[in-house]
Amino acid sequence: MTAVGGREAVIARPGDEAYEAATRVFNLAAPATPAAAVTAVTIDQIRGALRYAAAEDLRVRVHVTGHGAAAARPMDGALLIQVDLADRVEIDAQRRLARIPAGARWGAVIEAAAGHGLAAPHGSSPSAGVVGYLLRGGVSFYGRRLGLAANSIRALELVTADGELHRADAATDPVLLWAMRGGGGGFGIVTAVELELFPAQTVVTGAAYWPAAHAEPLMAAWLAWSADAPREATTTLRVLNLPQVPEVPAALSAGPVVCVDGAVLSQAGDPASAQRSAADLLEPLRAVAAPILDTWQLAAPPAVAHAHMDPAEPLPIHADHMLLDELDEAGAAEFLRVTGPASGSVLTSAELRQLGGALSAAGEDSGVLGHLDARYAYVGSGVPFGDVTPEAIMERCAVVRAALGPWDVGRTAPGFVGTLRQPQGHLTPQQVRAVDQVRARIDPAGRFRGDIAPGSTELY
């Protein structure tokens, strides 16, 4: 082991305890196996690690929690820097800004913002890292009202391969800010994000579950509501095959279930408006059949992070993703044919996430990935339990991909990409070339090229 850049920071090699800590990932199906690894808790330690990488001619890779590990390129011959800066989340309530250090998880941001009557466009897991989620676009349960979460980034601070600390905001290097918000990575090591927050005292959020025998009328009602849903509402419909484990209520693991979850913001700060919008969604669904579990309620914003019931502990997750156009009756039938109760699906979750609204419209100050030109995001995922194998999960993913092919728009949302092998691409050729120009300026030697998402560069 080699000390770098400050007290207790060491470059670790396979077999070292520090290596195991730095390479730990949330998705156990995609272990990180770099040549060396380090956990950096200060900017000086980041600089020391970069000097080491240059001296050893190693590419540099970066992660925080490894939630997106399965979509990352192999790390052979690279130095992995796990960034976990020892700073706290700072809230400027007057300006509605959060300064978030790299390494922070969404749970810390959510709680800090809520103390000031504010909320952030966070993901569905409070344990996920903030920076990776934001730089990949970020589709939150506030997305139809606010747009992609990356568009709420007001400034980025990063250390480049030469060890220099840069700031990118509207006044200082706005082109770099534009490129990093969804450009596919490969610029440097983000050390802090300034994120715009929004006022929120209450929100209607939760999840309702029904036996999957009711899947067809439930999906028909949800799709009909989605066609004209208010922008304040962002929801998902999922077909779930949940394992019989202590973390899952027994009623939900007895057989396949259909779940509708999400969040509804109030209009002009009026909680009753959110309750009315939620009722417009839920009453037709509850009329189909009584839910076996229903947690929808008026709550404080931190409750939104728990509505989706994302796992809190690392698991081996195998997944696939597509962006879909409007689903007609035939599309709905195909989705249920390959994921519903009679399909033999081994997917733990087959999800349709509602898009549209502000998610489909790029603002004037948006990043390069300003919107998603699609109506729904499909995410299919499975965890090997019992007799279910990784191969069986991916075979079912292929079946679903073929069935939904007629509705596939041919693009992806980076944060939902399930594996490195799946078809993916979120930028136009013109956008790729423009981002490459920024990347060539900020990382001319290509030290971070391994961190670039497939389809996001023509340089390498």
For residue 431, is it within any domain?
A: no
Say if residue 7's pLDDT is above 80. Answer: no
CA distance linking residue 424 with residue 421, whole number of Å = 8
Chain position carrying tokens 């509605």: 96
Say if residue 2's pLDDT is above 80. Answer: no
Where is the domain boundary, 144, 168, 199?
A: 199
Say if residue 124's pLDDT is above 70. Answer: yes
> What's residue 1's pLDDT?
58
Are 142 and 217 within one domain? no
Paired tokens of 39: 């956990």
Say if residue 114's pLDDT is above 90. Answer: yes
58 contacts 36 by C-beta, under 8 angstroms: yes
Are 300 and 245 within one domain? yes
Say if residue 4's pLDDT is above 70. Answer: no
> Alpha helices, DSSP H only, in 343-406?
390-403
Are 96 and 72 within one domain? no
Are 363 and 223 within one domain? yes
pLDDT in tens, 238-295: 999 999 888 888 889 989 999 999 999 998 778 999 999 999 999 999 999 999 999 9
Are 398 and 308 within one domain? yes
171 contacts 436 by C-beta, under 8 angstroms: no
> What's residue 267's pLDDT?
83
> Which phi and psi angles does 380 have, rounded to 5°?
-110, 130
Among 3-7, 145-149, 251-255, 385-389, the range of highest mean pLDDT: 145-149
Are 37 and 112 within one domain? no
Average pLDDT over every residue of 384-402 = 96
For residue 457, is it within any domain?
A: no
Are 106 and 159 within one domain? yes
Confidence of residue 172 (pLDDT cuts 50, 70, 90): very high
CA distance linking residue 413 with residue 192, whole number of Å = 23
Paired tokens of 172: 């200082």
Are 167 and 276 within one domain? no
**Short-list 334, 352, 204, CA closest to 271:** 204
Distances (CA, A) of 100 to 86, 160, 369, 455: 11, 19, 21, 29
Average pLDDT over every residue of 102-117 = 97
Where is the domain boundary, 380, 401, 416?
A: 416
Chain position carrying tokens 């670790």: 12
DSSP state, residue 348: S
Average pLDDT over every residue of 308-324 = 95
- Report the sign of the C-alpha dihedral through residues 45, 131, 106, 411, in that order: negative
Say if residue 6's pLDDT is above 60. Answer: no
Average pLDDT over every residue of 428-451 = 97
For residue 448, is it within any domain?
A: no
Tell me the Ramachandran region of residue 353: left when phi exceeds 0, alpha when psi lies from -120 to 50, beta otherwise.
Answer: beta
CA distance linking residue 279 with residue 111, whole number of Å = 27
For residue 219, is it within any domain?
A: yes
> What's residue 269's pLDDT?
78
CA distance linking residue 177 with residue 192, whole number of Å = 13
pTM: 0.95
Residue 251: its H or E element: helix 250-253
> What's residue 223's pLDDT?
98
Average pLDDT over every residue of 320-333 = 97
For residue 436, is it within any domain?
A: no
For residue 36, is it within any domain?
A: yes
> What's residue 364's pLDDT?
83
Q: Which residue has the higher pLDDT, 364 or 111?
A: 111
**Short-list 215, 260, 211, 267, CA closest to 235:** 260
Domain containing 176 equals 90-199
Are 26 and 172 within one domain? no
* CB burial string 160-175: b at 16+ within 10 A, e below: bbebeebbbeeeebee
For residue 451, is it within any domain?
A: no
Q: What is the CATH number of the domain that holds 105?
A: 3.30.465.10
Q: What is the CATH number of the domain that holds 67?
A: 3.30.43.10
Residue 207: its H or E element: strand 203-211
* CB burial string 271-309: b at 16+ within 10 A, e below: eebbbebbeebbebbbebeebeebbbebbebbbbbbbbb
56: how many CB neighbours lie within 10 A of its CB? 13
Are 237 and 354 within one domain? yes
Residue 153 C-alpha from the chain's centroid: 15
> What's residue 3's pLDDT?
67
Average pLDDT over every residue of 399-417 = 97
Average pLDDT over every residue of 222-243 = 96
> What's residue 5's pLDDT?
59
CA distance linking residue 315 with residue 381, whole number of Å = 12
For residue 296, is it within any domain?
A: yes
339 contacts 400 by C-beta, under 8 angstroms: yes
> What's residue 202's pLDDT?
94
For the chain, what percent of residues have pLDDT higher than 90? 92
CA distance linking residue 273 with residue 413, whole number of Å = 30
For the chain, what percent of residues have pLDDT higher than 70? 98
Q: What is the CATH number of the domain that holds 311?
A: 3.40.462.20
> What's residue 274's pLDDT?
95
Are 391 and 403 within one domain? yes
Number of folded domains that form the chain: 3
> What's residue 246's pLDDT?
85
Average pLDDT over every residue of 12-20 = 95
DSSP state, residue 96: T
pLDDT in tens, 127-151: 999 999 999 999 999 999 999 999 9
Average pLDDT over every residue of 165-187 = 97
180 contacts 168 by C-beta, under 8 angstroms: yes
Are 73 and 149 within one domain? no
Say if residue 356's pLDDT is above 70. Answer: yes
Say if residue 214's pLDDT is above 60. Answer: yes
Where is the domain boundary, 65, 83, 101?
A: 83
Q: Over the chain, what is the mean pLDDT?
A: 95
pLDDT in tens, 25-58: 999 999 999 999 999 999 999 999 999 999 999 9
